[in-house]
């Protein structure tokens, strides 16, 4: 075993140090998320999403307006919280938030917050610093950014397949996890990097398809992650068959379980990412749902492993 791998093994018990781990789960997520607004506490477990990275932007959906507050805090826990005053006790991760904007949508409100600071407690501070200096520190990735991303990915973020077509000639199919499916309002949110060459084409077209895919297709899903260029592979070059969606006629892999055709009606610049807000009318179910691919941070995986409650890891 090489010296670096041996050091990583000593720090983490794992011979390979990663930033994220891929797991296959259904909707049974153990983690809880709470938004604290001054002395009020709201459970937002299934209604909070990471939508931008630089700066880190969190979206929170609420059926009713979130109370105005001097301070907002997003708290991730492995157990339910009892009160606003004790929610931060034994929390796995905490994000201090600054209010940015509120969008009044169908049947609810989307609140956007910018991460101001963070704290994580997955492992002890000494090991955290050593792992950061050896594996996570790189240009543009300071310690605060690493902590904030680890905090956000304490909650498993589902990977979905995005399909986009332009003039019948360009067929883009790629995975994303910075997105939100708000079923109560029929809204979809997608945080796409400005550097993604597909973005301007999507903004012009204002149509996109989002599909749910089984976790077992991880290898081919990750290969699709390269399809962000101006010259995507032709359909004949894809290692799978495709289906066309009902209204848009976009191509999706033949193994997806369901899809939604989304019409983009609003765009918000979040910094490194553009937030695309859209509406969908129908959830087209093709196959029964199976465990789906999610990302969690490696540090959260180490915490779960220490408790003997790890999610199924997808290799």
Centre a 10 Å sphere on the Cβ of residue 135 and count the other Cβ atoms it contains: 18
- pLDDT-derived band at 232 (thresholds 50, 70, 90) equals confident
The answer on pLDDT for 230 being more than 60 is no
Give me the mean pLDDT over the 159-172 stretch.
85
The answer on pLDDT for 45 being more than 70 is yes
CATH 2.30.110.10 fits 30-155, yes or no: yes
Q: CA 154, CA 23: separation in Å to the nearest integer?
A: 13
What pLDDT does 102 receive?
93
Length of the chain: 315
3-state secondary structure (DSSP) of residue 296: strand
- pLDDT-derived band at 4 (thresholds 50, 70, 90) equals confident
Centre a 10 Å sphere on the Cβ of residue 186 and count the other Cβ atoms it contains: 18
Chain centre to alpha carbon of residue 234: 28
| Domain residue extents for the chain | 30-155, 157-293
The answer on pLDDT for 310 being more than 70 is yes
Mean pLDDT over all residues of the chain?
93
- Helices then strands, counting H and E runs in the chain, come out as 6, 19
3-state secondary structure (DSSP) of residue 106: coil
Full DSSP string of 226-280? TTTSSSPPPGGGSSS-EEE-TTT--EEETT-SEEEEEEEEEEEE-SSEEEEEEEE
Structure tokens at 8: 């990583």
Structure tokens at 122: 């997955």
Structure tokens at 1: 């075993």
What pLDDT does 256 receive?
98
CATH number of the domain at 157-293, out of 2.30.110.10, 1.10.3720.10, 2.40.50.100, 1.10.760.10?
2.30.110.10
What pLDDT does 65 receive?
85
* Cβ-contact 210, 260 below 8 angstroms: yes
The answer on pLDDT for 47 being more than 60 is yes
Structure tokens at 118: 């963070």
Beta bridge partners of 41: 36
The answer on pLDDT for 2 being more than 60 is yes
Structure tokens at 215: 């976790």
Supply the DSSP symbol for 311: P
Question: Which residues, in sequence order, are CB contacts of 172 under 8 Å at separation 6+?
Answer: 162, 163, 164, 165, 198, 201, 227, 228, 232
3-state secondary structure (DSSP) of residue 168: coil
Summarised one tens digit per residue, pLDDT across range 62-87 is 988 898 899 999 999 999 999 999 99
The answer on pLDDT for 254 being more than 90 is yes
Q: CA 218, CA 314: separation in Å to the nearest integer?
A: 7
30-155 with 157-293: one CATH topology?
A: yes
Please provide the distance, in angstroms rounded to a whole number, between the alpha carbons at the two ends of the chain: 21
Which residue in 194, 190, 197, 202 sits closest to 278, CA to CA? 190
């Amino acid at each position: 075993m090489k010296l670096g791998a041996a050091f990583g093994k000593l720090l983490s018990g794992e011979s390979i140090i990663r930033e994220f781990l891929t797991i296959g789960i259904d909707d049974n997520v153990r983690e809880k998320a709470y938004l604290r607004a001054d002395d009020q506490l709201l459970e937002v477990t299934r209604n909070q999403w990471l939508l931008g990275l630089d700066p880190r932007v969190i979206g929170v959906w609420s059926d009713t307006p979130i109370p105005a507050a001097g301070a907002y805090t997003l708290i991730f826990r492995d157990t339910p919280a009892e009160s606003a005053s004790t929610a931060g006790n034994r929390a796995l991760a905490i994000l201090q938030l600054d209010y940015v904007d509120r969008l009044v949508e169908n049947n609810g409100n989307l609140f956007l917050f910018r991460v101001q600071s963070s704290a994580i407690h997955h492992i002890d501070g000494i090991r955290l610093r050593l792992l950061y200096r050896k594996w996570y520190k790189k240009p543009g990735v300071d310690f605060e950014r690493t902590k904030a991303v680890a905090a956000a990915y304490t909650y498993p973020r589902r990977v979905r397949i995005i399909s986009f077509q332009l003039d019948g000639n360009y067929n883009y199919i790629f995975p994303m996890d910075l997105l939100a499916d708000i079923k109560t309002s029929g809204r979809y949110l997608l945080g796409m990097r400005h550097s993604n060459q597909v973005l301007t084409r999507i903004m012009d077209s204002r149509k996109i398809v989002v599909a749910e895919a089984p976790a077992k297709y991880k290898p081919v899903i990750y290969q699709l992650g390269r399809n962000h260029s101006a010259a995507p592979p032709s359909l004949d070059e894809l290692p799978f068959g495709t289906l066309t969606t009902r209204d848009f006629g976009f191509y999706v892999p033949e193994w997806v379980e369901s899809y939604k055709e989304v019409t983009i009606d609003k765009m918000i610049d979040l910094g490194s990412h553009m937030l695309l807000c859209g509406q969908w009318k129908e959830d087209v179910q093709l196959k029964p749902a199976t465990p789906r691919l999610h990302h969690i941070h490696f540090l959260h995986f180490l915490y779960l492993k220490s408790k003997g409650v790890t999610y199924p890891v997808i290799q």
